[in-house]
Amino acid sequence: MKIGIIGAGIAGLATAVRLAAKGHQVEVFEANSYPGGKLSAFEQKGYRFDAGPSVFTMPSYVEELFSIAGVPMEGQFAYERVPITCKYFWNDGTRLTAWSNREQFAKEVEHVLGVSAHRVSDYLALSEKKYRLAGRIFLEKSLHRWNTWLNFDVLKALPHLATFDLTTSMHQVNVEWFEHPKLVQLFDRFATYNGSNPYKAPGMLTIIPHFEHNLGVYYPRGGMHSITQAIFTLAQQLGVRFHFGQRVEEIVVENGCASGLRTARATHPFDATVSNMDVYYTYKRLMPREKAPERILNQPKSTSALIFYWGIRQRFPQLHLHNIFFSDRYQEEFEALERGEMIDDPTVYINITSKYTPTDAPDGCENWFVMVNAPFHCGQDWHNLIAQVRRNIIAKLDGLLQVNLETLIETEAVLSPPEIEAKTSSHLGALYGYSSNTPLAAFLRHPNFSPRIHKLYFCGGSVHPGGGIPLCLLSAKITSELIGKSSRP
């Protein structure tokens, strides 16, 4: 088949690899001049920054792309497991190192917070069990095909429904397990991996710690952008043709079937079309005359992010690759985000890739990717809000790190929700498309195919199974399998 893909984000690239490996002729159209979408990078005054996602888990999904392509990964992509998944800081001076080794992490929690190591280990074991029984069903298969539900794995999971905490919030599950507010907060924060609110998101999301604490956190050599570079290069090796700087203006639909794409330069016929563009804009911009699934498109959006990229003229040995400085008003922080606001004591995340790639910063310096959760763009005065948040972050870090941070910032760049929307066509700048704050959220995401338009498919963070690198790679797998089935005689 001749297949056209809209968008060279990570899901679009992975879909291109999978389809090309099956022998299809694949062309990718990207409005930007570079591949990767949110998973990009830039340099400024001697500092290199990964612009988007900063945590790498489940590298097997990248390895799988090389495997199905029949191309050795050696020399094209490499990664290592990091010994510390994250360092946590609280305003009262409490500090906790989350070791990659599960037993070591549990002992650290017992030592610092006084919560039994066995309790932590049991929690993580249950997280793994939930994933094994149900997580793979929800994440690795289309939820909108009957054959997903008519198999042995589903039957095996049914007796364990109560274990999945579908009607209990993530926060309630964590409170019942730990009671200690700091440990509850530590595990609540995993809801932000898909832009959700732990006080509303279903308890099933407690499978997310499994990815980090059981399977591990990894660092791709050369930084996160090397993931994009590796998959892009692999796609080129398989003969995928890329059209950069060519914005798709329309998905051509004839007699209920997607028959091609139209750019400003030409109309391109295809046997199947895949949109890696945000599903909202796919309908509203590219198919304005087609009936859109308004109920899906108007669901509550996920949170976004406000990111400061700082070149810091100092090294901080007390920090690691991933660092989180918690707010004392965590629930209030999420309530404010849902109102489209931000509190003056936000939780701050700092990623420093120069800890592993020293050339990402000049000698004696560090490249800080400083992120706070932000609401999606809904008319806020971002100019003033950015300045206010910046002051609050610096004041918070000054106190906790005992430093005058302002004097150490050598260079700065900022990424806000409006800019995220402009650069990546993410509707309202919502990083993960739609929130997962209800038990049925997974079922309400748009499927990886169009129920109305034949030969039209979807991948990426705004459709099933959701946002983040692992889920986007899984969406590519689901989508390519659906196309494979539809192309059979």
Distance CA(484)–CA(489), nearest Å, equals 10
pLDDT tens-place string over residues 393-438: 999 999 999 999 999 999 999 999 999 999 999 999 999 888 888 7
User: What phi, psi does 396 have (nearest 5°)?
Assistant: -65, -50
- Residues with Cβ within 8 Å of 116's Cβ and at least 6 positions away in sequence, in order, are 110
Return the bridge partners of 463, or none: 446
DSSP line for 270-324: -SEEEE-S-HHHHHHHH-TTSPP-HHHHTSPBPPEEEEEEEEESS--TT--SEEE
Per domain, the residue ranges of the chain are 2-40+221-298+439-486, 102-216, 304-374+378-415
DSSP run (H or E) holding 21: helix 10-21
Helix axis angle, 225-237 to 10-21, nearest 10°: 30
Q: What is the per-residue pLDDT for 228?
A: 98
User: What phi, psi does 313 have (nearest 5°)?
Assistant: -85, 55
Cα 314 to its chain centre, rounded Å, is 30
Q: From its phi and psi, is residue 465 left (phi > 0), alpha (psi between -120 and 50) or beta? A: alpha
Q: What is the per-residue pLDDT for 134?
A: 72
For residues 185 and 326, is the Cβ–Cβ distance under 8 A?
yes
3-state secondary structure 406-472: HHHEEEEEEECHHHHHHHHCCHHHCCCCECCCCCCHHHHCECCECCCCECEEECCCCECCCCCHHHH
Mean pLDDT estimate for the chain: 93
Distance CA(252)–CA(254), nearest Å, equals 7
Q: What is the per-residue pLDDT for 438?
A: 77
User: CATH for 2-40+221-298+439-486?
Assistant: 3.50.50.60
User: What phi, psi does 339 have (nearest 5°)?
Assistant: -85, 0
Q: What is the per-residue pLDDT for 442?
A: 57
373, 378, 381, 386 alpha-carbon torsion, rounded to 10°: 20
pLDDT tens-place string over residues 53-108: 999 999 999 999 999 999 999 999 999 999 999 999 999 999 999 999 999 999 99
Helix (H, G, I), strand (E, B) or coil at 152: helix
Look up the pTM and report it: 0.94
Distance CA(466)–CA(433), nearest Å, equals 8
Burial (CB < 10 A; 0-12, 13-18, 19+), residue 352, is: buried
Per-10-residue mean pLDDT, the chain, length 489: 98 98 98 96 97 95 97 96 98 97 97 98 94 74 61 57 73 96 98 93 92 96 97 98 97 97 97 97 96 91 96 98 98 97 97 98 98 97 98 98 98 97 94 81 81 96 91 95 68
Q: What is the per-residue pLDDT for 445?
A: 84
Structure tokens at 51: 């612009």
DSSP 169: B
Taking CA atoms, 2 is separated from 8, 24, 433, 459, in Å, by: 17, 6, 28, 17
Q: What is the per-residue pLDDT for 488?
A: 41
- Residues with Cβ within 8 Å of 124's Cβ and at least 6 positions away in sequence, in order, are 102, 106, 209, 210, 213, 214
